[in-house]
Amino acid sequence: MTVERVVDHRSEQEFTLAVGDRRAVAAYQLEGNTIVFTHTVVPPEIEGRGVGTKLIRGALDIVRDRGWKVVPQCPFVRAYIEKHPEMRDLLA
C-alpha cells in the first residue's frame, strides 16, 4: 500500500490522500480564513487502514500552517477533533 501525502486541491475545494489508485477526500468550503469541512469519503477498498485519520490529520496540519479556523460540519472531522484535544484551538 503506497500512501501519498495530503494534497489541497483548492479549485475543487477538497483535500485528498491517494492510496494506490484510490483517493480519500475531505471536501470543504472556504469562507475567508474559516474552512468548513462538509464531508469525508474513504473508498470501501481502503477503509479500516487509518486512511481517513491520516487525511484529516494532514488537512488540519495544513489549515494550522495557514492560520485558518475550522468549522467541522463533517461528523468524521468533528470526531477527530474531539479525540485530539491538541486540535481544538483550530475551532472557529
Q: pLDDT of 66-92, one tens digit each?
A: 999 999 999 999 999 999 999 999 999
Percentage of the chain lying above the pLDDT 70 cut: 97
Quote the pLDDT of residue 4. 83
Cα separation, 50 vs 31, whole angstroms: 29
Adjacent-strand bridge partners of 69: 34
Instruction: Convert the pLDDT of each residue in 30-47 to its tens digit.
Output: 999 999 999 999 999 999
Q: For 7-90, CATH number? A: 3.40.630.30
Q: Are 5 and 12 in contact (CB under 8 A)?
A: no
pLDDT score of 14: 98
Does the pLDDT value for residue 24 go beyond 90?
A: yes
Task: Return mean pLDDT, the chain.
Answer: 95
Closest CA to 36 of 58, 13, 19: 13
The predicted structure's pLDDT at residue 2: 63
Domain ranges of the chain: 7-90
Tell me the sheet residues that pair with 27. 14, 39
